[in-house]
Amino acid sequence: MARITAGLTTSHVPAIGMAVDLGKTEEPYWQPVFAGYEWTKKWADAEPPDVVILVYNDHASAFDLSVIPTFALGTAASFQPCDEGYGPRPVPVVEGHPELAAHLAQSLILDEFDLTLINELDVDHGLTVPMSLVYGQPEAWPTKVIPLAVNVVQYPAPTGRRCFNLGKAIRRAVESYEEDLSVQVWGTGGMSHQIQGARAGLINQEWDNRFLDLVVSDPEAAASIPHIEYLRETGSEGIEMVMWLIMRGALGERVQELHRFYHVPASNTAVGHLVLEPVD
């Protein structure tokens, strides 16, 4: 039987990807950011899972405004890194897991989560930056990835509650897959940031740290946070944090916190990162 072995959340700031690609990770500006992932890299290298269900959002890279799926599952065998206008990132091709993805698609839709299924998908920094943060710069990624793209660009994003419940459904779906696979769920994006308007540059460290606590210990409360609170308190782009709740829903009621990191700033953004293990 497949099982969910761990969950992870991380910001996915594009400039972090550029720092990796351009060899700037030791520069004074970036060093403290990457230092926060040293523990995670060791943990990740020790035991990479068979599959990561990677929850992220596209940033007007693969998706334009012609179709705006709220939840879209990548069911392909592989996913190329997008050209986001500067040429594709020099990172390995992301290998999918079409069999598990097909099983997830069927289970989740019958469980009343009406996903969009995507058989052709290029993945942008929202997905590849977390891979770089956790696995560095390998020749090939050590794990297969099923992308789960969430619309957080056009308001409204799905509610936190909906994301949390989707995570719970993902757990049920994974646990009903026969093959013995270890599966992690990653929730990416956030934390507080706003990259538009006169209020740009907003960072709310107090709120972010409370959210980190809630995600670990009181996810029900985190799932009840309404959109307007994210927008007011964490900036217009802080709404990405609803994606963390998909990860948290998939881990079950209680978790053990293995690692936590918080740093301001990376470019315009507060970087937050958790590694969690389910406690059965």
Where in the sequence numbering do the catalytic residues fall? 125, 193
Residue nearest to Fe ion (CB): 189
For residue 246, give the nearest of 180, 173, 177 by alpha carbon. Answer: 173
The site partner of 140 among other proteins, Fe ion, none (C-beta below 5 to 8 Å per kind) is: none
Q: Kindly state the tokens that stand for 183.
A: 């599966």
User: Which residues from 214-233 bind other proteins, rule CB under 8 A?
Assistant: 228, 231-233
Nearer to other proteins, 14 or 81 (CB): 14
Tell how strand 269-279 and strand 3-10 pair up.
antiparallel
What CA–CA distances, in Å, run from 143 to 92, 97, 134, 208?
Answer: 11, 10, 11, 29
Per-residue contact string for residues 50-69; x = within reach of other proteins by CB under 8 A: ---------xxx--xxx-x-
What CA–CA distances, in Å, run from 192 to 162, 189, 228, 242?
Answer: 21, 9, 13, 12
- Indicate which single residue of 3, 265, 277, 278 sits in contact with other proteins (rule: CB under 8 A): 265
**Cα-flanking dihedrals φ and ψ of residue 214, to 5°?**
-65, -40
Contact 69, 149 (CB under 8 A): yes
Nearer to Fe ion, 7 or 189 (CB): 189
Q: Kindly state the tokens that stand for 187.
A: 């929730």
Nearer to other proteins, 86 or 280 (CB): 86
The site partner of 270 among Fe ion, other proteins, none (C-beta below 5 to 8 Å per kind) is: other proteins
What residues contact 104, with CB distance under 8 A and at least 6 apart?
Answer: 53, 73, 146, 170, 173, 174
Q: Is 31 in the site for other proteins (CB under 8 A)?
A: no
Binding part of the chain for Fe ion, among 20-28, 189-197, 205-213, 253-261 by CB under 5 A, reads 189-197
Nearer to Fe ion, 17 or 189 (CB): 189
Residues that bind other proteins (CB under 8 A): 14-15, 59-61, 64-66, 68, 83-86, 153-155, 192, 194-205, 207, 228, 231-233, 235-236, 264-265, 267-268, 270
